[in-house]
């Protein structure tokens, strides 16, 4: 399966993190060349780079670039500089666990290199950041292969937000099964929820799928019920930002509503989850912090004239939590997990 596009990569020679600016899609395919911690932080916060795995990859390279600039001459001084960059990048967005997973993975690598010189420490961090990217490519392909086992020629799926190539290393999670099925010669159609307020479904998923030649129908989020009721949807595939040990899953706002509708209409609902997005420290979804974003994303974007009266209050949670009892299966790189999720998730982590 070929990568549609690589949303995050490093130019180590120029000490630049090169990021596909997803806020400009689908109209413009442009890249940011980020050299400072501030610009990397901002790119994550503004969703110029977004999607749990892509955020993790960006964080790995971001903290490497921060450490690369260190003038430290001792391990202790270097670690202090590393931790300053790590803590700063960790403050960009709270929900996607991949951000913290990647930063912690980089810190753990540093701990194993205590006897190395500072140049060797920098080389080790670069290697680890590259490995985070490479691992995600393998993981997404495996999720695609397992997920494709659930698809048959002529099936139609619905998805919410964007958990595609540009949200990951280039292969996607929720869209990976569609890409694998396409490579196998199957015809799969997709209904994409536009996903207000930031329209990742309209701007990103529809763009990816149309670019890939997949039959795609864009709908408003409030149309998900009628397409399910009319029998148009055979299965639902979504991504995730943090999966708790019991299988409760945080994903883009609106996902839990789709899952409730799916249950009502008897449609299978799958979460595509790299193990890097499963947080076994979170016992249930109640332990997951939900990012709240500015109300202007609801009122001021996408419309020439104000779509709401000045002074109106807003509430803009960027994610919600889908109860594990609504999830038919969790598709991971180790296979398709079925309930009891606390048991099946514990098993795959014990296998690692």
Interface ranges with ligand LNRAV4D5 (CB under 6 A): 47, 50-53, 161, 163, 167-168, 173, 200, 238-241, 251-252, 318
Q: Please state, in angstroms and rounded to a whole number, the distance separating the CA atoms of residues 263 and 257.
A: 10
- Other CB atoms within 10 A of residue 221 CB: 18
Q: Is 200 annotated as a binding residue?
A: yes
For residue 91, give Cα distances in angstroms to 14, 85, 86, 257: 25, 10, 9, 28
The least distance separating ligand LNRAV4D5 from the CB of residue 302, rounded to whole angstroms, comes to 16
Q: Is 51 annotated as a binding residue?
A: yes
Q: Please state, in angstroms and rounded to a whole number, the distance separating the CA atoms of residues 193 and 181.
A: 21
Contact 106, 135 (CB under 8 A): no
Cα maximum dimension of the chain? 66
Q: Please state, in angstroms and rounded to a whole number, the distance separating the CA atoms of residues 180 and 165.
A: 12
Q: Is 252 annotated as a binding residue?
A: yes
In this complex, which beta carbon is closest to ligand LNRAV4D5, that of residue 52 or of residue 89? 52
Q: Is 182 annotated as a binding residue?
A: no
Which candidate, 241, 289, 285, places its Cα nearest to that of 44? Answer: 241
Handedness of CA 18, 22, 23, 25 (dihedral sign): positive
Contact 337, 330 (CB under 8 A): yes
Q: Is 93 annotated as a binding residue?
A: yes
HSE-CB for 264 with a 13 A CA cutoff: 13
Cα torsion through 128, 347, 327, 319, rounded to 10: -40
Position of minimal CB gap to ligand LNRAV4D5: 239
Q: Is 289 annotated as a binding residue?
A: no
Strands (E), 212-254: 215-219, 235-238, 242-244, 249-252
Contact 284, 246 (CB under 8 A): yes
In this complex, which beta carbon is closest to ligand LNRAV4D5, that of residue 54 or of residue 261? 54
The least distance separating ligand LNRAV4D5 from the CB of residue 89, rounded to whole angstroms, comes to 15
- Other CB atoms within 10 A of residue 40 CB: 27
The least distance separating ligand LNRAV4D5 from the CB of residue 93, rounded to whole angstroms, comes to 7
Strand order in the sheet with 319-322: 278-279, 242-244, 249-252, 319-322
Which candidate, 266, 256, 253, places its Cα nearest to that of 297? Answer: 253
Catalytic residues: 241
In this complex, which beta carbon is closest to ligand LNRAV4D5, that of residue 159 or of residue 182? 159
In this complex, which beta carbon is closest to ligand LNRAV4D5, that of residue 124 or of residue 167? 167
Binding site, annotated residues: 50-52, 93, 200, 251-252
Task: Provide the annotated binding site for substrate.
Answer: 50-52, 93, 200, 251-252
């Amino acid at each position: 399966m070929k990568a549609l596009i690589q949303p995050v990569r490093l130019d180590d020679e120029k000490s630049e993190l090169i990021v596909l600016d997803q806020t400009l899609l689908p109209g413009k395919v442009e890249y940011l060349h980020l050299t400072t911690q501030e610009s990397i932080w901002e790119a994550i916060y503004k969703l110029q780079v977004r999607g749990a795995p892509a955020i993790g990859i960006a964080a790995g390279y971001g903290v490497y670039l921060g450490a690369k600039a260190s003038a430290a001459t001792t391990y202790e001084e270097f670690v202090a500089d590393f931790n300053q960059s790590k803590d700063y990048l960790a403050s960009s967005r709270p929900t996607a666990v991949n951000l913290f997973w990647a930063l912690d993975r980089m810190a753990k690598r540093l701990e194993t290199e205590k006897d190395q010189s500072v140049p060797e420490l920098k080389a080790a961090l670069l290697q680890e950041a590259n490995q985070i990217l490479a691992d995600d490519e393998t993981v997404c392909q495996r999720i695609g292969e397992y997920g494709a086992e659930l698809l048959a020629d002529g099936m139609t799926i619905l998805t919410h937000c964007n958990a595609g190539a540009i949200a990951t290393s280039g292969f996607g999670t929720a869209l990976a099964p569609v890409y694998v099925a396409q490579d196998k010669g199957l015809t799969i159609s997709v209904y994409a929820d536009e996903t207000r307020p930031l329209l990742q479904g309209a701007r990103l998923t529809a763009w990816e799928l149309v670019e890939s030649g997949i039959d795609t129908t864009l709908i408003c989020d409030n149309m998900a019920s009628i397409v399910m009721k009319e029998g148009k949807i055979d299965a639902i595939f979504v991504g995730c930002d943090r999966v708790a040990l019991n299988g409760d899953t945080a994903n883009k706002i609106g996902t839990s509503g789709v899952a409730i509708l799916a249950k009502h209409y008897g449609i299978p609902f799958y979460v595509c989850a790299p193990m890097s997005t499963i947080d076994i420290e979170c016992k249930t979804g109640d332990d997951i912090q939900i990012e709240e974003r500015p109300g202007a994303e609801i009122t001021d974007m996408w419309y020439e004239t104000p779509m709401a009266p000045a002074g109106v209050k807003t509430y803009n949670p960027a994610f919600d939590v889908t109860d594990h009892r609504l999830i038919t299966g969790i598709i991971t790189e180790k296979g398709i997990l079925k309930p009891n999720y606390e048991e099946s998730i514990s098993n795959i982590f014990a296998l690692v």
